[in-house]
Structure 1
């Protein structure tokens, strides 16, 4: 088996793991924006409308963060499962991916 190909597959999995972590951080950042907006609006603007609007914003922020964590864990499980296939590509599959049908 081509060791260069195995290294390329390994590095692709590492890039995918980093992209998954970046996505998790984006979900957390977005959730925190909602939580901060909800708590700020609820405390600074002293009207009933903004107090009632603040609570759903906080709930949405917590929901977004939880969904990001769940998605991160699900994708991480798939990435770890794909790690088992590194280096197991057949020569026919490699040629087909490269477009060499001879």
Structure 2
């Protein structure tokens, strides 16, 4: 009976740690999207000053749009995964309820 308690406690701990790693990975991925979006934004802002190209306005607009699309996609991705992660927290609670019943 005591080994079952230890196994359930181990399972709860492993699940919580795995969930925490997943949350941190999701945040890290969002920051990577944000960083990439900012790179494109900065490239668009500095293009006119660095290079003397005839149609630099078109390239700037393309870079701004790309930056916005990456930012929106990263934000949607972050919140979609955040909701999915929070739904999986319920499973840990089920294990926890089973553990406390014993």
User: TM-score scaled by structure 1?
Assistant: 0.79
Give the equivalent residue in structure 2 for 1:79: 85
d(CA) in 2 for partners of 1:42 and 1:54? 8
d(CA) in 2 for partners of 1:11 and 1:37? 39
Given that residues 42 and 53 in structure 1 are in contact (C-alpha distance below 8 angstroms), is that contact kept between their aligned partners in structure 2? no
Cα deviation 1:31-62 (Å, max 9, x = unaligned): 01111111111343233222221111011011
More helix by share: 2
d(CA) in 2 for partners of 1:54 and 1:44? 12
Unaligned runs of 5+ residues in structure 1 are 90-102
**Does 1:60 find its partner at 2:66?**
yes
Aligned alpha-carbon RMSD (Å): 1.5
Question: 1 or 2 for the larger relative contact order (CA 8 Å, sep ≥6)?
Answer: 2
User: TM-score scaled by structure 2?
Assistant: 0.79
Give the equivalent residue in structure 2 for 1:25: 31
Q: Where in structure 1 do 4 or more consecutive aligned residues deviate above 4 Å?
A: none
Given that residues 5 and 87 in structure 1 are in contact (C-alpha distance below 8 angstroms), is that contact kept between their aligned partners in structure 2? no
Aligned residues: 89
Unaligned runs of 5+ residues in structure 2 are 96-102
